[in-house]
Amino acid sequence: MSHAIKLYRHPLSGHAHRVELLLALLQQPTELVFVDLAKGAHKHPEFLALNTFGQVPVIDDNGTVVSDSNAILVYLAKKYGNGRWLPEDPLGAARVQRWLSVAAGQLAFGPAAARLITVFGARFNAEEVLARAHALFQVMESELAKSPFLAGDSATIADIANYTYIAHAPEGNVSLQDYPHLRAWLARIEALPGFVPMQRTAAGLLAI
């Protein structure tokens, strides 16, 4: 019986969902630990002992503690992925790394930030953030016209790192209407065996 990996997360955190999704796709037993961000639980000393940056997600894999969503994806892919989710060859690894950088850069400051405005009341310039989101989506649309997944012919952690905030971009008023290849890519990820969605929020274009 394999041990359960503890995942410290918040159900509306796209960064945490990346990890929850990969764990599900890897069929790894997982214990979800709720971190109450609204009450500042991520700034308490016991949580800061796990991640000095005070952010979710964090995993505890039988005593091995790893923080930062993309770092956790790399760890899980290397430890449990049997080479499937993170290529070992230099070019394959570089292609994945490029999209992990996008997830931490353009994605974070575009679609993810747009959602932070509508879902969490963050104070960003909505016009700037939406322009960034659409600029990113135009690039992704042209790349996904040429290959089914971001780093090639099969799903990798590059796709997992970018999926959640794009799937939930409409919550931040970012429409996916003009990006058929991007929408088809989302559907391909959602069709992977073991896929789990992140909880939806009725905000932005999804407001009731």
pLDDT in tens, 112-148: 999 988 888 888 888 999 999 999 999 999 999 999 9
Q: Of 125, 101, 102, 95, whose CA–CA distance to 113 is shortest?
A: 125
- Range of 116's domain? 90-196
* Whole-prediction pTM: 0.94
Average pLDDT over residues 179-201: 96
Residue tagged 């790349």 (tokens): 143
For 75-108, how does the pLDDT look when each residue is reduced to its tens digit (9 = 90+)? 999 999 999 999 999 999 999 999 999 999 999 9
State the CATH number of the domain containing residue 28. Answer: 3.40.30.10
152 shares its domain with 129 = yes
**Domains in the chain: how many in total?**
2
Residue 10 pLDDT: 92
Looking at 58, 80, 102, which one is the last position of a domain?
Answer: 80
107 shares its domain with 192 = yes
Looking at 80, 101, 134, which one is the last position of a domain?
Answer: 80
State the CATH number of the domain containing residue 124. Answer: 1.20.1050.10
Average pLDDT over residues 60-73: 97
